[in-house]
Amino acid sequence: MSTSCGSTLAAGASCTIRVTFVPRASGARAGTVTVIDNAGTQRITLSGVGT
């Protein structure tokens, strides 16, 4: 994961979170990216299939 986000973000600003899927085995894989902000905790579910 890489991000252009700093430790704080001004109101109305945005940043990019980049996630790369690199499985170490074949089959279905899942994960979660968690972002904590003033609106609470945001969880983004990720999934992919390794070949």
Domains in the chain, number: 1
pLDDT value at residue 29: 95
Other beta carbons within 10 Å of 36: 9
pTM equals 0.65
Q: Which of 31, 48, 43, 33 is nearest to 3 (CA)?
A: 33
pLDDT value at residue 26: 95
Tell which wins on pLDDT, 8 or 25.
25
How does residue 8 score in pLDDT terms, banded at 50, 70 and 90? confident
Q: Which two tokens stand for residue 14?
A: 């945005």
pLDDT value at residue 50: 93
Domain region containing 31: 2-50
Cβ pair 26, 51 in contact under 8 A: yes
Q: Is the pLDDT of residue 48 over 80?
A: yes
Other beta carbons within 10 Å of 51: 6
Q: Cα separation of 34 and 37, whole Å?
A: 10
